[in-house]
A and B are shown apart, each in its own frame.
Chain A
Amino acid sequence: MDTVVIGLGNPFLADDRAGIVVVEDLERLGLPAHFEILHTVGFELLDKVLDYKRAIIVDACMLGKNVGEILEVSVKDIFTSSSLINSHAMHIGSTLKLGDELYPERMPEEIRIFLIEVENIKEFSQEFTPEVLKAVEEVKRRIKELLVL
């Protein structure tokens, strides 16, 4: 497999599950990729992308966009600092940037990051906000298209 698809989030919290659900659903389709779920970002994320040609990462975000809005970004777009307050605050940008520093030859040539603007991240629920549900379906469609090309 040349591609890894990674979903990030908490599986119990309503909209925070977005990345996880995308990956779980796509994996069931038997698409040509390796699928991973992570509940955190840190060195683990770096470990999961090494040696793949392409990495696709899906995560929920709250960046003040409209709920359900999908952002497709690159590492460059989201890297602003490697400063940390605690180990729980490692972020996608700094983690992947670290990979570029340490393992330039092992990092994917292509990294696509899908962010879904979410709303309800406090409720223990298996129900998405309607706009987020639509976005999850749309991100699944886009990734599926990427994988079957």
Chain B
Amino acid sequence: MKKIEINPITRLEGHGKIAIFLDDNGNVADAFFQVVEFRGYEKFLQGMPMEEVPRSVSTVCGVCRGVHFTASMKAMDEIFGVEPTPTARKLRELYYMSHYIEDHAVILYALGFPDFVVGPEADPAKRNVVGLIEAVGAETGKLVLNKRRLAVKIFELLGGKPNHPVAALPGGWSKTLSEDERKMVADWIDELIELGHLTLQIFEDVVLKNEGYMKLVTGDMYKVVVNYMGSVDEQGRIAYYDGLQKVIDTEGNEIGTFRGKEYLDFISERTIPWSYLKVPYQKKLGNWDGIKEGKGTNLYAVGPLPRLNVAKGMDTPEAQKHYEKFHNTFGSRPVHFVLAYHWARAIELLSAAERMKELINDPDITGTDNWNKPTSVVGEGVGIIEAPRGTLIHHYVTDEKGIVTNANLIVATTHNNGPINLAIKNAAKHFIKDGKVSEGILNYVEMAFRPYDLCLACATHTVTGKFPLEMEIYDSEGKLYKTMRNF
């Protein structure tokens, strides 16, 4: 059996590896995505006062800082048995939506668009954000970054500290908004809405109007048929900060809904021999049945595409129009095309900006009743949010003083572990035939998992300018006969 390995190696920690095994005929027998375990934060948090947890877990990941902060803050509310005041609730959501926009913008412009704007077979030296800017023009690039920067400014203003937020209180939010600040933020939000429209226009012009790209988007090589999970509001529309978790099967039928600790009734995690990362599955659909796709699988995906599959609509008017166009374009629901994650992400970017507009015009947003002070410790709490990459679950148990005794974090990349394995396998099967490994295989396989935007161990700053991928091909006798790398 031949073996192909693709090794992405990050700067200091947290690396993944893709191993593709070929049969004796040179066709793909199997493919595995291997990753190091989520770092030891769950252990590190034990013994920590719960009120310190949000600030601490925001360092789990420099990129996803806001999501861990928010999920643990919601768990903290439960630990102390308090609900945030209406003002605190809305300030939290406003802050969180700004995080959505800055994060979605990075993924789209740095990862998603280069494949389409510059081209999937373009020289890797050009197929990146710099190549993207060369293609769309520096003025457009500046426009995007300038607008995105406003989302970061809102995130920092409301978070109470540059880069890493500190404003979480059990039952509250310590940073209030003055009227002057509200007006300033409202102006910025108008620009974020423009960013949403611009992003969708770019997607329309570059992808939707390109027959070849749409064939790629709707091709079997990038199709993964699994179940889906995401949050919905009381009307069944998409929800990010808080909602009911809804699970649908491969044909769109509702499997069930849950809140908080009930996740344990739905989600089970399976240890697999080739990776430190477990594979979660929907146990309402039966016991562990392996990494399989299609009707009857109990694997599920989370993130922008699953959210648009699970929700009956968006909660804002302009995003709703794009939601309808999205589903009309693909025809049948749920949409199983992995590359559609990018389109869904662009729609969510606009949706988040529109939601911010609603929040900034809400009279409660400049309220001063920002803390519902706790008086007791309940001792257990689960915070579930829809992070940009998908459902994030933080579950804590504390002692009677609110000191953490147990912590469990399930992040989007973990939920998506099974589908990521399948996406890689499907792409590899398509592009590797009879032992012929195209030079473009690296990017085509990368394209299969880039839409999930893997969050590995989250120490994110590489210095060497490289995120190397290495692919090794072994013949049926185990001898290395070819090595391909992007460095």
A63: B residues at CB distance < 8 A: 463-464
Contact assessment for B149 and A59 in the assembled complex, using a CB-CB cutoff below 8 Å:
no
Q: Is B56 an interface residue (CB 8 A)?
A: yes
Known interface pairs A87-B110, A87-B111; A44-B467 also in contact (CB < 8 Å): no
Q: With an 8 A cutoff between CB atoms, is B87 at the interface?
A: no
Query: If A40-B63, A91-B466, A102-B141 touch, does A84 touch B129 (CB 8 Å cutoff)?
Result: yes
One digit per residue, 1 when the CB lies within 8 angstroms of any chain B CB and 0 when it does not, for chain A 112-127 equals 0101001001101000
Nearest chain B CB to A134 CB, angstrom units: 20
Count A interface residues, CB 8 Å.
51
Partner of B463, one of A42, A44, A115, A121: A115
CB contact list, A19-39 vs B, under 8 A: 36-39
Are A83 and B62 within 8 A (Cβ)?
A: no
B interface footprint on A84-100 (CB within 8 Å = 1, 0 otherwise): 11111111111001100
Please provide the chain B residues from 41 to 100 with a CB less than 8 Å away from any CB of chain A in the complex.
44, 56, 59, 61-63, 65
Out of B62, B111, B138, B465, name the residue touching A80 (CB < 8 Å): B465
Residues of chain A lying within 8 A (CB to CB) of residue B59: 10-12, 39
From B102, B461, B486, contact of A83 by CB (8 A): B486
Q: Which residues of B contact A89 (CB under 8 A)?
A: 8, 10, 460, 462, 467
B13 adjacent to A122 (CB under 8 Å): yes
Q: Which residues of A contact B111 (CB under 8 A)?
A: 84, 86-87
Band of interface residues on B: 35 or more
A82-B131, A87-B111 known; A38-B459 Cβ under 8 A: no
- The answer, among A78, A80, A86, A97, for a CB contact under 8 Å with B450, is A86
In the bound complex, residues from chain A placing their C-beta under 8 Å from that of B142 are 102-103
A41 at the interface (CB under 8 A from B): yes
The reply to whether the CB of A61 lies closer than 8 angstroms to some CB of chain B is yes
CB distance from B416 to the nearest CB of A (A): 12
Query: Counting CB contacts under 8 A, is B407 at the interface?
Result: no
A89 CB, nearest partner CB in chain B, Å? 4
Q: Known contacts A87-B106, A89-B10, A94-B129; is A80 also within 8 Å of B459 by CB?
A: no
Shortest Cβ distance from residue B246 to the other chain A in the assembled complex, whole angstroms: 27
Task: State how many angstroms separate the Cβ of A11 from the closest Cβ of chain B.
Answer: 6
B10 touches which one: A40, A78, A88 (CB < 8 A)?
A: A88
Q: Do the beta carbons of B138 and A86 come within 8 Å of each other? A: no
Q: Is the beta-carbon distance between A101 and B13 smaller than 8 angstroms?
A: no
Q: With A42-B460, A62-B11 given, is the CB distance from A12 to B141 under 8 Å?
A: no
Contacts from A to B (Cβ < 8 Å): 8-13, 16, 36-44, 46-47, 59-63, 78-94, 97-98, 101-103, 113, 115, 118, 121-122, 124
B residues whose Cβ falls under 8 Å from a Cβ of A: 8, 10-13, 39-40, 44, 56, 59, 61-63, 65, 102-103, 106-107, 110-111, 124-125, 127-131, 133-134, 138, 141-142, 145, 148-149, 152, 162-164, 446, 450, 453-456, 458-467, 469, 486-487
Q: Which 8 A-B pairs have the closest CB atoms?
A: A40-B62, A93-B465, A82-B128, A41-B461, A39-B62, A91-B462, A80-B465, A89-B467
